[in-house]
Amino acid sequence: MHAQFAEGLQAPRPDKKPRDVSVHGDHRMDDYFWLREKENKSVLAHLKAENYYTEAVLAPAIDLREKLYQEMVGRMKEDDASAPVANRGWMWYERSEKGKQHPILCRRKQVADGAEAPEQIVLDVNVLAKGKEYTKLEDYQVSSSGALLLYMVDWTGYREYEPFLLNLETLQLMPLKIGKVSSITWAADGDTLYFTTENGAKRSDKFWRYYIKKGKQELLYEEQDELFDVGASLSADDRYVFCSSGSKTTSEVRAVAADDPQAKPVVLLPRVTDHEYRAEHREGRFYFVTNKEAKNFKIVSAPDDQPAAWTEVQAHQPAVKVDGVAMFRDFMAVMEREGGLPQIRLHDFATGKGTRLTMPEAAYEVMAEDNPEYAAMEFRFRYESMVTPPSVRAVQGRTGAVRVLKNKEVPGYDPAQYRTERLEATASDGTKIPLSLVCRADLDRSQPQPLHLYAYGSYGISESASFSSSRVSLLDRGVIFVTAHIRGGGEMGEEWREAGRMEHKMTTFTDFVSCAEYFVKSKTTTPGQLVISGGSAGGMLMGAVMNLRPDLFQAVVLDVPFVDVLNTMLDDTLPLTTSEYVEWGNPAVKAEYTWMRAYSPYDNLKAAAYPHALINVGLNDSQVPYWEGAKFAAKLRDLRTNGKLTLLHCEMGAGHGGASGRYDALKEVARDDAFLLGALGLQGKNP
């Protein structure tokens, strides 16, 4: 074992309480099923023991962790502010102050001639967070009159949001007693709210209207299908409130006139299995991003009174996936993806013509920023790459002229010292898998080097070639970082997603193995220098590839990992289970159970020489319960045949996203990186 880890310590061993979880004639006994008893004092004691053990094992790395943390803080501009955005006569922005964990929401009166009005602090999240383990400002929205602010706070990390109303003239809170919500939005009158709530299984299933002055609410719609969740949003032009029902593969949208507090929801396009669509509105017409007869989506519009009478706005292109639109009065910005890379296309409504922006690098990430003003003539977006820090930019919707609003300052960072590459690995079936790589420009690539391989590969989510200032600490110690854009994700369109879900899910895992083998065969790295990581469904990926090829990796970080697949998916009372049936399958169906049984990480652990493993979970995680990682750690210790580490860290006051404070979040990254550097034998290597 490396000197960076303490030796001779006794790992926690939870009691074995065998429980028969057999189904379909497949005999399975689960020794650690009882760890899901969150209120059981023995469970909490075990989690605390795991934390103590992890800290004790990593104690020799305490100086390294502190050094990494200080490096990361050093690349943070601690006193900073976001690019201001115009919203109802004011310029809104968030700023941070040195030593403070959370943002401060501010605004200035919008004035002409480049003058700057005095700042008004609207909401200091640091004040909200005082005395609390977790506080996250989730969203804020200004009413149509500009008089009121609606915002939501998550107090635990469980993704239950408490809404608040703030009078922007007096900065006094107003009564709003509607309990926790899953989404919320204004109507157009400044006195009506629409919101959604969750049931006991944490499925968002009810759509409500609330009258602020009356203090009354009414239920407008309840979603009965257990595969579907509902969400509330306001159209870009403030004309309609949308109640969007969606499963992983099917959509249905109801519209309510935003200026009529008595209006009833009207279905725009009735649900049809496998028809996915999203709705927007402008100038008397609904706009739909739809996959009807368009695998990778197209854009159509229809009159308000005939939403099924479509006129094509942007035709389907098989090689181009339409991810969504940002709608304005005179133009729309279409977010596309082609060849694994995101693109922005500007569509001018006056001419009907579309123009795609040119991006300055071969691999990069672009995404929409906040664009609250419907009549704006510019579209705000964020640009970055693996070597280029983020910048907020604005493009003229009709001319394509781009200006930079703010470049994120990264103290001490010189992009010229790093290089990024776009590579391809060949999967077992011959498919080319894109890879995004970043490393030091002066790294000696003629010999194998340490390599950190990351991936996700689920839900059609596209992993980006984005910038990370904290990652620089690994790069400066000679580690190559790579994101693998494997199937199951959406990088190459809907076909890419379909090739890695349901009965084809194993492809996601074999793709990742092929990517790892590519770097070993090309002598870029060796198994002893190869570390991997992934979170949530990417944590499932990590568990699966550990089982497939335990010999291929030196160390693994599994963040909030979905690893107890069968037990979770067999329990429809757990959050998110039912809605996942169309992503993984329903194990109550024997054929679907069979394909899930083949990869479920917890159920496929075996006697093997596994790599070092650090498993991070959150006690308040609503998406992947803490017990999945805790059970996986216990069983992995039972079965591993070598002396490598199995470590579990449980964040006792957070959920799926980890710590809410920016400094606390960096401490988590420093712990993980110190673990990986120790496993690689690089604990003594300095930048």
Query: How many Cβ atoms are within 10 Å of 574's Cβ, its own excluded?
Result: 17
pLDDT at 576: 76
d(CA 631, CA 597): 17
**pLDDT band at 254, cuts 50/70/90?**
very high
Residue 247 neighbours by CB under 8 Å, 6+ apart: 225, 227, 228, 229, 579, 582
Alpha helices by DSSP H, 370-493: 472-475
Classify residue 187 by burial, with Cβ atoms within 10 Å: 0-12, 13-18, 19+. buried
Q: Is the pLDDT of residue 11 over 90?
A: yes
d(CA 276, CA 227): 14
d(CA 520, CA 400): 44
How high is the mean pLDDT of the chain?
95
Of 205, 621, 672, 673, which is the active-site residue?
Answer: 621
d(CA 140, CA 94): 11
pLDDT at 123: 97
Output DSSP code: residue 504.
Answer: G
Output DSSP code: residue 643.
Answer: S
Q: What is the mean pLDDT of residues 602-610?
A: 98
Of 96, 469, 514, 536, which is the active-site residue?
Answer: 536
pLDDT at 166: 97
d(CA 649, CA 48): 9
Give residue 515's Cα distance to chain centre: 23
For residue 402, what are its two tokens?
A: 């781009």
Q: What is the mean pLDDT of residues 571-597?
A: 93
Q: Is the pLDDT of residue 34 over 80?
A: yes
Give residue 254's Cα distance to chain centre: 26
Residue 483's DSSP bridge partners are 436, 454
Residue 179 neighbours by CB under 8 Å, 6+ apart: 162, 197
Of 46, 347, 649, 656, which is the active-site residue?
Answer: 656
d(CA 216, CA 351): 46
First and final C-alpha spacing in the chain: 24
**pLDDT band at 333, cuts 50/70/90?**
very high
Q: Measured between alpha carbons, how far is residue 310 from residues 99, 129, 302, 306 in Å? A: 54, 49, 5, 8
For residues 671, 610, 533 and 648, what is the CA-based torsion angle, rounded to 10 degrees?
-40
Encode 141-163: b = buried (16+ Cβ within 10 Å), e = exposed. Answer: bbbbeeebbbbbbbbbbbbbbeb
pLDDT at 174: 93
For residue 325, what are its two tokens?
A: 């639109």
For 234-276, give the DSSP string.
Answer: E-TTSSEEEEEEE-SS-EEEEEEETT-TTPPPEESS---TT--
**pLDDT band at 113, cuts 50/70/90?**
confident
Q: What is the mean pLDDT of residues 286-293?
A: 98
Residue holding tokens 């009121």?
148
**Mode of pairing for the β-strands spanning 354-356 and 365-368:** unpaired
Per-residue pLDDT of 229-238, as tens digits, reads 999 999 999 9
For 612-657, give the DSSP string.
Answer: EEEEEEETT-SSS-HHHHHHHHHHHHHHB-SS--EEEEEETT-BTT
> What HEC string does 320-364 produce?
EEEEEEEECCCEEEEEEEECCEEEEEEEECCCCCEEECCCCCCCC
d(CA 302, CA 347): 17
Q: What is the mean pLDDT of residues 429-438?
A: 97
d(CA 680, CA 525): 12
d(CA 290, CA 310): 11
Residue 10 neighbours by CB under 8 Å, 6+ apart: 53
Q: Is the pLDDT of residue 220 over 80?
A: yes
Query: How many Cβ atoms are within 10 Å of 41's Cβ, its own excluded?
Result: 8
**pTM, two decimal places:** 0.95
pLDDT at 1: 47
Q: Is the pLDDT of residue 2 over 60?
A: no
For residues 61, 63, 67 and 73, what is the CA-based torsion angle, rounded to 10 degrees?
90
pLDDT at 3: 59
| Nearest of 648, 651, 645, 635 to residue 601 by alpha carbon | 635
For residue 655, what are its two tokens?
A: 């959920």
pLDDT at 28: 97
> Any catalytic annotation for residue 452?
no
Q: Is the pLDDT of residue 115 over 90?
A: no
Per-residue pLDDT of 335-388, as tens digits, reads 999 999 999 999 999 999 999 999 999 889 999 999 999 999 999 999 999 999
| Nearest of 465, 609, 437, 433 to residue 524 by alpha carbon | 437
Per-residue pLDDT of 494-511, as tens digits, reads 999 999 999 999 999 999
Segment among 116-125, 198-207, 564-573, 650-659 with least mean pLDDT: 650-659
> Any catalytic annotation for residue 656?
yes
Output DSSP code: residue 658.
Answer: B
Output DSSP code: residue 77.
Answer: -
> Any catalytic annotation for residue 612?
no
